[in-house]
Amino acid sequence: MANSKLNIILIHILFLSFSSFAEALDSQLKQQNQDEEERVPFVGVNIGTDVSNLPAASDLVAFLQLQKITHVRVYDANQDILKALSGTKIRVIISVPNNQLLAIGSSNSTAASWIDRNVVAYYPQTLVSGISVGDEVLTSVPSSAPLILPALESLYNALVASNLHQQIKVSTPHAASIILDPFPPSQAYFNQSLVSVILPLLQFLSRTGSPLMMNLYPYYVFMQNKGVVPLDNALFKPLTPNKEMVDPNTLLHYTNVLDAMVDAAYFSMKNLNITDVVVLVTETGWPAKGDSKEPYATKDNADTYNSNLIRHVFDRSGTPLHPETTSSVFIYELFNEDLRSPPLSEANWGLFYGNTTPAYLLHVSGIGTFLANDTTNQTYCIAMDGFDSKTLQAALDWACGPGRANCSEIQPGESCFQPNNVKNHASYAFDSYYQKEGKAQGSCDFKGVAMITTTDPSHGSCIFPGSKKVSNKTKEVVNSTISSNAGEKLRFKTFNSIKISAIGNILHILLAAYLPTLLLVLL
């Protein structure tokens, strides 16, 4: 009888051991899944609230889900929005406004109360992924600079006390102007007068695995350096090799301004011996409307910048310095903030108006399920500037000959004959071939003389093939967003299979260790 009781007790102990192990393993796997998700670059949006007709929180969240937006950043810790996000898969970065820095930076209990009220009360039903502490404090309110690190430390310690420090990162967004001599990137360095604050901040970010938050605007770089920085470089437009920006010290080639700004941040950190902090672009974008002093604030440029930005992130090509690391970005911003003060551009950074109608139509179909308002997939293939007529003519001849493009519309007397020049005719032929090939990768190259654009090149009665095709097939492209995620899904599926296999091996080892003892006891 005693032996039977002992056997039952031992079996119970073994069962509890297996249960505890399974729970620990499950927790570890969940953390691994989260770490994997965090390593995949994303595009999010900032949500400003200076909007006269801002949707109610529940309507706002329904709109975010409709647009398939998975990451947002808000400039406070709006309780209504946090409640409305509950149960969704939308990750949110909440913020400590500058006017709350003093209270949080000078009192651990205030910081703990802030975390309890704005994080613990909602997590994990609401997926708070980060806290941005202040906004451009070093440049906008330098007198508050000494408060940033104490605020970061206090908030982080409160997260540790709630066991949320692994899931939620704490950082502070900086203006690009804290970096001097940003081009070439290899010569960039942090403003020396700020290093006494920046270095401890970076050491905190390194220690806690948090990102360096940077607000980076190629629009302002272009506006302040017109004649030096070409517009195409600022807009992520495809460039010929001779138009790429080259860092003379590293010989790295830069095809866009944003990559150069990100690398300038990496070089600046490296100068302070910080090499393990990742850059998170907390704000970037392009205004769609401006006053007479802002002629480049147009819908076409905003569309081009943001569409190409999104493609750039989803391509996961990194930067010239760190091709293995693609920074995630938050577009500034979701809605036009019509209540903002002049200049006019300040009220026109939004992708949408406050009533949720698009301010302009982004062209991002085929690169993922981000933004449902694009159903046109309007991309065209045209001839690049800067090539001689002989080179373009050779490409035109190939397109209309072996390439079997439909070149009937550029014959004399037809609708696209005028203007009668090689570049115009080549653009039409290139687009005809590109559309015929289903916009397949490499079908808009023609030995480097062609480029893809989201701007319709049609003019007058000349309708380019891409526009003719779109009118009949706008619905087809919805399914094209699926394929771009196939590789990612396969990668995660394989990753999960490996984890499952690992679990099986561990259980096998445990059984091998425990089973003989168990059988011996029972016998």
Distance between first and last Cα of the chain = 14
Angle between helices 2-39 and 486-522 (to 10 degrees): 170
The whole-angstrom separation of Cα 307 and Cα 364 is: 6
Burial status of residue 139 (CB atoms within 10 A of its CB: 0-12, 13-18, 19 or more): middle
Q: Give the torsion sign (CA, 44, 47, 48, 54).
A: positive
Instruction: Kindly state the helix (H) or strand (E) to which residue 367 belongs, with its residue range.
Output: none
Spatial contact of 173 and 132, defined as CB atoms under 8 Å apart: yes
Tokens representing 121 are 């009360």
Which of left, alpha, beta for 17 (phi over 0: left; psi -120 to 50: alpha)? Answer: alpha
Nearest to 289 by CA among 357, 354, 349: 349
Residue 216 CA to residue 134 CA, distance in Å, equals: 16
Annotated catalytic sites, by residue?
136, 283
**Token pair for residue 356?**
């949720």
Q: Which has the closest alpha carbon to 29: 474, 516, 510, 501?
A: 501
Who's near 342: CB < 8 A, 6+ residues apart?
291
The answer to whether residues 157 and 166 touch, using CB atoms and an 8 Å cutoff, is no
Q: In 85-222, where do the E strands start and end?
A: 91-96, 127-133, 169-171, 173-175, 179-180, 189-190, 212-215
Say whether 175 sits in a helix, a strand or coil: strand
Q: Write the CA distances from 38 to 5, 35, 175, 278, integer angstroms.
A: 50, 5, 24, 12
Identify the CA nearest to 236 among candidates 267, 258, 205, 203.
258
Q: Where are the beta strands (DSSP E) in 255-405?
A: 279-284, 329-331, 380-383
